[in-house]
Structure formats: C-alpha cells, structure tokens
A and B are shown apart, each in its own frame.
Chain A
Amino acid sequence: MDKRTNIIELRHITKTYEDGFSAVTDFNLEVKQGEFITFLGPSGCGKTTTLRMIAGFDIPTEGEILLNGKPITSLPPNKRPINTVFQRYALFPHMNIFDNIAFGLKQRKMPKRVIEKKVKKALELVDLEGFENRKTDTLSGGQQQRVAIARAVVNEPQILLLDEPLGALDLKMRKEMQLELKEMHRELGITFIYVTHDQEEALTMSDKIVVMSEGKMQQIGTPEDIYNEPVNAFVADFIGDSNIFNGIMTGKLKARFCGGEFVCVDDIEEGTHITAVVRPEDVILVPTEHGIIRGIVTSVIFKGMHYEITVESGKNEIVAQSVNSAKVGDRVGVMVKPDNIHIMLAEDHTNIFKAEINKNYELEYNGRMLDARLTDLIPGSRLDEDGCVLDVNGLEIDRQKTRVMVSIQPQDIRMTDEIEEGLVQGYISNLIYKGDHYSYVIHTDLEQDFVVDDEYLWNMEDQVGLLMPEEKMTFTVKR
C-alpha cells in the first residue's frame, strides 16, 4: 500500500459545455505526491479537458478538485502552484529566452539576483546553457520544447502538467526527450501529469496510466497492469496490438472464441458472454494437428526483431509474433497457453467484425456490398480519377493494410428464417433467458459468433439469417 499523501484529488468531475456536450463525465482520480501519471486516450477523449481543469483554465460544471486536501476547484490558474508545458510550447514571441523563463519568477517579485540564478539553473537542467539572449524564433522545435519545460519548472511547481509536449517533434527527438523527461522527473521529485495519445510513450514513461475514452476513465493502473490485464475491449485494443474476440464461456475454465474452444485460467460461469484478448506475442503457431484452431497464413511482415504473421481462420484474423518465419498460404495450427488468454466479462456484447475492401474500394462482408463509403470513413480522403481512394496527404490507401471494423449492438440485429436475406448465415449455438429477452449466440458459416437479443424464443441449432440494418452499424478504420 502506498503511504504517500494525495497531492491532487478529482472528485466526480464533470465538464459539460453550453451546447450540451460532455467532455468529461464523473471523473475520479487520486494522484500521489511525486507520481508520474499519464492520461492516455484518443483525441476527443477528454484528457486535455481534464488537464485544463487541473491547471485552472476550465472550471468543472460538477465535482471538486482538491490540492493537498484543500479545494481549488474554481481558483484561477495564476493562484495555483501548478505549471503547464503547452502542446505547441506557447513561448512569448516578443521576449528572449531569459525573459520567457523569468516570467513566472518576476510575477512573484523575486529579487533580480535570485531570478538570474534560477534561470541559469533551469537552462542547465534542459541543456541550453548560454541561450539567455536568443529569440524564441531562432530555436529548433526541440529547443523550444526545452525552454517551455524550463519556463515551467523554474517556478518549482508542486505539479507539472504536460499536454502532449512531444507531439510536434520528430520520432528520434521524441524518443530522446522521453528519456530526458523521465530523468527530469526523477531529479525534480515533483508530480508530473502527462497527456498523450501515444500508448508507447505512456507505457515507457509513466508510473501510472489513466486510459480515457469518451470522457470517462476506462482503467487506471501501472503500465504492466494496463498492458497485461486490460479491463475491457477498448483498453485492450488501444494499448498495444491485440487480438480481441467475442466469445462465451462453455464450461469450467473453458471459453469458446475464434471458432475454437480454449482452456483458460479465469473461472467464469458457463454461458457468460466474454471478450477474450490474446497478445500477438502469445499466439503460438504449431503444426495443424496440434492447433486448437487451424488457418491459413495470409501475410508475413518482417519487423526486425520478429515476424508479424497474420493467420486467417474462417473469417477470424489472428495476428501472431514469431521469431520463425512462415510462408503465405501455409496451413498452420494456432495455440495459446491458458494463462496468456485474458478473459473479460463483455460489459457490452457489441458484435465486431471486419469488412473487406474490394478492388473498387467498396466495403463488403460475406460477399455482399455495404453502402458505407470509404471516403466518408477516412477523414480528408477522396476518390481520384482512377477510382482509388487517396488519404488526406494524397497517398493511395493500401487495401491490404487498412482494416475497417464494423460494430453493431445485439439488439440491432434481427434473426430471420429467410436465411438468404441475412447479411450472414449461421446456427444458434447458445441461448440464455435474460428476464425480458433472450440472448442468443449465433455461430456463423464464417466461423464467427454473433450475439443477438430477441424477445421471441428460437430453438438451439436453428439455421437463421442475420439482418443488420446499416444505419445501426458503427465503422472504425485502422491503418
């Protein structure tokens, strides 16, 4: 148990804008003295808004923020012992480096001698000795970033907030700065609250990660926790590469997903809908006869340390990392050790499947065309004269590397006897009565399991078609 005191606490924080949009909903967090904590999530998840509320730029519509146990919820930013490193640095263009760094100290009316000494020390900390008289626009991005950090830490804040500080730097610079920031955190001993959408950055740097999505906290934990024990499909998908499958418990320590029955270590009641997560490095490719499921290798990419091998089994796709190569077209078996299968209760039973992009850049599933257009799904993309889809930078979109995932809720799918009418066909492999409706699992001809809610009773093993109205589908594109 961590005995250190909470430096900052967020209690039931909600931020709703005038147009009714809630950027953050009922957010609770305790941060310990000296921690390096990271808010991680896709853009628009509310992480920057939360940071701005801690800094004092935004005031929560509900809830309370405590600093060292005292409420600071509506204290203006200039009264808080908290400093921020801004996304695009926000250096004052009309001042030289010295005046930029000295700005905070001058506000506190410190004697000139002290200011000079502190600025010098701050510049040493960020390796920019002798830069006092330079103008901000003569510095490179990395140097401006260092000045922004020096300008914040020179005030000896209790908490340093960093809002995607490395976002504007190139990859090499970013890696360097990650290490330096980590080192600086150790040296200064103050609390860092860091915002990023880069999961790798979060995993390398943080003591604790808060994964956020749609204004809500999804999970909080150490990088290891978050990586190994994601609490839901969103976290599993966002952190690292993972294979995520919908499935159902079929017996004690037995789960059925991805067209096979796997032994697992999580003791969950039979018949429960689950989400199974398997990290690519835990997928073992074996000769077909030893595999729990079998499939065909569809792609092999050399990644330096290992090969990334994609295996297609029915309509399921399993990504494996292996030191041994394989050949496209090979038939292989797939095995996963029980303790490498991470089973989560499916808090929702959203059905997720992959749509194909055909050579005309149309989406199809099970050989049927979908109405959704790729150009509407990828922001900034457009169709060129040859019928190819170009992305925002004008580059042709690679049909092999782009994955379009479709999700649809169980209550939005209808079953029909006219099986050919359905987008996909299958048989009912499981049913549970849920009080006011039945929850069915349909095992499709494409070896996938769909969860469907229906108020009428159907029989086990019934052949059905699944009607999925396209307006109920949500599309996500991964490139």
Chain B
Amino acid sequence: MIHKIWKSAVVVVVLLFLYLPILVLSVYSFTDASNIGTFREFSIENYVTLFTTPELVRMILGTIALALSAAALATILGTLGAIGAFYSKKGMASAITTLNQVPVVNADVVTGFSICILLVVVLGVSKDTFVPLIAGHVTLCAPFVFLSVIPKLKQMDSSIYEAALDLGATPAAALVKVVVPQILPGIVSGFALAVTLSLDDYFVATYTKPATFDTISTYVVNATKGAQTTIKTALWALSTVLFLAVTLFVVVMNVRAEKRNKERNSV
C-alpha cells in the first residue's frame, strides 16, 4: 500500500512540474493581473487583445502558414527521398541516409547559422524573399519525414509493387496506387512531426527570417524581454489557447485510434 502511494506520488510530482506553470498561467490569463500572485478580477481582456491586435494575429497566422508550407514541402521531398533511397543501390542509399542524419543530430543553432551563412552571406539571397526561412525549416523537418517513411517501406511486402506491375500497372501507377497507400501512415506522421518542429523552432527562424516577420517563438522571446504588459499577458492567453488545442487534438486522435482498435478486434 505504501508502495503504491510512493509510486503515485512520484508520477504526480513530475506531472505537477510539467503542468503547474501552464495551468497557473491559464488561470491568470482570465484575470486582469499583470503578474502572478497579484490576483485581481476575472477578465477576458487578454483574449480580446490576442485576437484583435493586428501584430499578434499576423504573427500567429504567419507561423501557421510557415509551418504548413514548410511541412508540405518537407513531406514531399522527404517521402520521395525515402522511396528513392530505399530502392537505390547500397552506396547511394547510405549516402542519403548519412546526410539525412546530419540535421537530426545537429544543434538547431548550427543548422540555422550554416544555412544563413550559405544563402545570405555567400549567395546573397535576401532574407525578405522568405527563401532562407523556408529552406531552413524544410531542412529542419524533411529528415524526420524521411525517417518516419523508411520503416514503413521496410515493413511493406516488397512483392506487392511487383504484383501491381504484373497486373498491368505502370511503375508510376503502381507507386501511387500500391506503395503510397502502404506507407501513408508514415507520411502522415512525418507531416505532423514536421508541423510541430516548425511551430516549435526558434533558432533556424532567428537566423533566416526577414526582419519584419516573426514566428511565435521569435516573437515571444522578444516579448518576454520587453516590458509591454498588455502584450505579455496576451501571450498568456495564447499559451492557454495552444494548450487547449493540443489537448483536444490528442484526445480526438486517441479516441479515434481506440475506436479503430475496437473495430479490428471485433472482426
């Protein structure tokens, strides 16, 4: 019995460490307080500010647009790369896999800085074109798409591609109709991973973004150092909204997975 209490205590403590700051902040986001501890009255002012300040709205939408487009590009490139590498000769495949591993293990600071040096300093591409930023984020994300697609290719029965050819499909049709559906779960989770990586990134963005553009991360980092209270507390609201959105997303995904499992078991 004591054993059990101990065990629960450990889990609860770790969970508290992870959640207390977010939860407290969420509570305070519904008040007019500008600092924690100075409890005042209920207010949704922060949320109004969040959704009506053009600067904030632009920053949020920009971050989402960047994440979606970078993730889409990364998914296309990474998936094609995985298929290509999987069917290539050993030397080529291991060359791609090795290069692919570099951004994965590399520190984001180094990735961001090196791309900035190449594109901006050496090649003279202007940051205002968004090319360095998109390139940076695709470099950050594509390797993870590659890594989530490769295992699916390995699990796939290699003869089904040949079966499709045998039944008269052209190689392109066999790829689209047979191989892609088989690796789709890998592509989807690769895309999801790419979106989160892009949303969470700070380092690549700081070195490659146009001066007038901000992602949530770069904006928040600057805002915490500034003294503008209304913006600071509006960010509390943003963190609450994000927290709820992520939780909702995870719950929905889990319920759906559970349902699918049950269906499969009943068959």
Contact = CB atoms under 8 A, between A and B. Distances in A.
* A, B: real partners: yes
Interface of A: 55-57, 76-78, 82-84, 86-88, 90-94, 103-104, 107-108, 135, 138, 151-152, 155
Nearest to B180: A94
A56 B166 CA distance: 8
- Of all A-B residue pairs in the complex, the 10 with the closest CB atoms, nearest first, are A104-B167, A107-B168, A90-B159, A90-B163, A77-B165, A94-B181, A84-B166, A90-B160, A86-B159, A78-B165
B164 interface: yes
26 contacts: A55-B162, A56-B166, A57-B162, A76-B165, A76-B171, A78-B166, A78-B170, A78-B171, A83-B166, A83-B167, A84-B163, A88-B157, A91-B160, A92-B178, A93-B157, A93-B160, A94-B181, A103-B177, A104-B167, A104-B168, A107-B167, A107-B169, A135-B267, A151-B163, A152-B166, A152-B167
Nearest to B163: A90
Per DSSP, chain B at the interface is helix
B121 interface: no
Contacts of B250: none
B65 interface: no
A151 B174 CA distance: 15
B267 A103 contact: no
B156 to A, nearest CB: 9
Contacts of B167: 78, 83, 103-104, 107, 151-152, 155
A135 B267 CA distance: 10
B173 interface: yes
B182 interface: yes
Interface string B143-165: 00000000000000101101111
Q: Which range holds the interface residue count of chain B? A: 20 to 34
Contacts of A92: 160, 163-164, 178, 181
A17 to B, nearest CB: 12
Contacts of B163: 84, 86, 90-92, 151
Interface of B: 157, 159-160, 162-171, 173-174, 177-178, 181-182, 267
A93 B166 CA distance: 17
Nearest to A83: B166
B182 A93 contact: yes
Contacts of B178: 92
Nearest to B165: A77
A88 B170 contact: no
A138 B267 contact: yes
Contacts of B181: 92, 94
B182 A94 contact: yes
A93 B181 CA distance: 9
A87 B162 contact: no
B170 A90 contact: no
B159 A103 contact: no
B157 A90 contact: yes
